[in-house]
Each structure stands twice: as C-alpha cells, then as structure tokens.
Amino acid sequence: MEQATELIKAFAMEYGLKIIGAIAILFIGRIIVGILSSMVRKLMDRAGTDATLTKFVYSLTRTALMIFVVIAALGTLGVETTSFVAIIGAAGLAVGFALQGSLSNFASGVMLIIFRPFKTGDYVEAGGTSGSVDSIGIFVTIMTTPDNKKIIIPNSKITGDTITNYSAMDTRRIDMVFGIGYGDDIKKAKEILERIMAEDNRILKDPAPMVAVSELADSSVNFVVRPWVKKEDYWGVFFDMTETVKLTFDNKGISIPFPQQDVHMHQATTS
C-alpha cells in the first residue's frame, strides 16, 4: 500500500505540473482561439465579405489555431510533437493532391467573392454558358438560363475563361443592321430609321443614336443602326425596332433584299 502511495506521489511530482500546464494551455488557448476567430469574422463582416466565405474562413481559422493549441499542450506533457507535425503536414499534402480540383474551385470562389466580376441577379456569359446568377458559392456558381434551366458551374471554369457581364453597366448599345435595295432612296431610308428611333421614348438621347451606311454589299446597301438604351430595355427595343423597321419600310416602299435564285430552264433538242 505504501509502495503504491509512493508511486502515485512520484507520478504526481513528475507529471502533475505538466498535466496542469497542459490543461491550462488548452483552457486559455481555447479562449484565445475564440477571440482571434471572432476578430477575423468581425473584420470580414465589416469589409462586406460574402457570408459564405466569412463562415468558411472563420471555421478554417478556428480549426488551425486549435491544432496548434493541442500540439502545444502535448509538448508540455513531454510528448514528442515533431512527429505529429510531420504527420499533419504529410496528411495535408496528401489531401491537397487528392482534392486539388476542389481546392482550385475554392480558390476561384474566393476570387469571385473578393473581386466581384458579377453579383447575384446579373446576366453573364461565363464558363461556356450564359444566364442569370442565382448564387456564388465557395466551390460552384449557380445560374438560371433564359429558358429556365438550372446550371451549376465549377468556379475554376469561370475564372479560367472570359467573363462577360451584361448587367454591369446601366446602359447598353444595340447594334443592328438593315439593308435596302440599290434602287431605293438612301436618304429617305436613313430619315425613316432616325425617325423611328426618335419616336421611341426608351431610346436615350445621350449618347445619341447613330445611323450610317456601313457596306455596299452584293445585293443591298446596309445601314448600321446603334441606339443606346437602359439595360432593362435592351431586348424590348431590339424586337420592337426590328418589327417597326420592316413594317415602315413596306409602307414607304423601301425594299429589303433577300437571297433569291433565278432558275433558267433550257429545253434540249433531240436530233
């Protein structure tokens, strides 16, 4: 009994302070980790960082700091931590190779959230497709096409290609081409096109719309017509003007050439 008591006393003398020190490191370290993690989250919130990225960075920071606290506590107990650090490093490297595609998507997601080439609700062309942005996640971006199809695109594919944001600017220019016949009155056709744009209240006065002869084609004289509109009026003006120009040209006797072929029949004579 006395021998067991002596062993306990010897163990307590040798490891008691180490155990208390390790517990203290875990307790105090956990408090410090909580404070530092909260500071990171508050700083990101104040900077207006996306909530998804903020939550991810907060969790990542908290986990990484807790790993250091645990290693420090083990070191206080006398445990050789060099091997633990090596194992963690090797495991991280292996996970990095295994998840390199996911990590690439994550890095691209961070870039999209920080640099904001587009935001939720914008109509964009990116990653080989186009549509309205529903959400920008850490790994993927979700879009909805005009015909109501849901598309999920890996973020790395978006940042690795050209991004065209059709909603970034408040105004857009519509580029249209209308052709008339060589026998038609060019000045009359130009006046008609200018009047059509002047009568449409959706077409902006500044920048001023432009009408000009752009090409003497094989079978037509082509006009470029370039009105400026608010971005939400783009397709409405495009479709309405196409219809109005056709109806007005027909009414005013201006022809719109179209491809046609003349077929000549020759009757072969037999001897």
Give the model's confidence band at 96: pLDDT under 50 very low, under 70 low, under 90 confident, else very high: low
Q: pLDDT averaged over the chain?
A: 82
- Residue 71, pLDDT score: 78
What is the CATH topology of the domain spanning 117-165?
SH3 type barrels. (2.30.30)
8 Å CB contact between 248 and 193? no
Q: For 17-59, write each residue's pLDDT tens digit.
A: 677 777 888 888 888 888 888 888 888 777 776 666 677 677 7
201-226 pLDDT per residue, tens: 999 999 999 999 999 988 899 999 99
Alpha carbon distance 188, 249 (integer Å): 10
Amino acid 38: pLDDT: 85
Class of domain 171-252: alpha beta
pTM check: above 0.75: no
Provide the percentage of residues in the chain whose pLDDT is more than 70: 76
In CATH, the number for domain 2-98 is: 1.10.287.1260
Residue spans per domain, the chain: 2-98, 117-165, 171-252
Torsional sign, CA 202, 207, 212, 218: negative
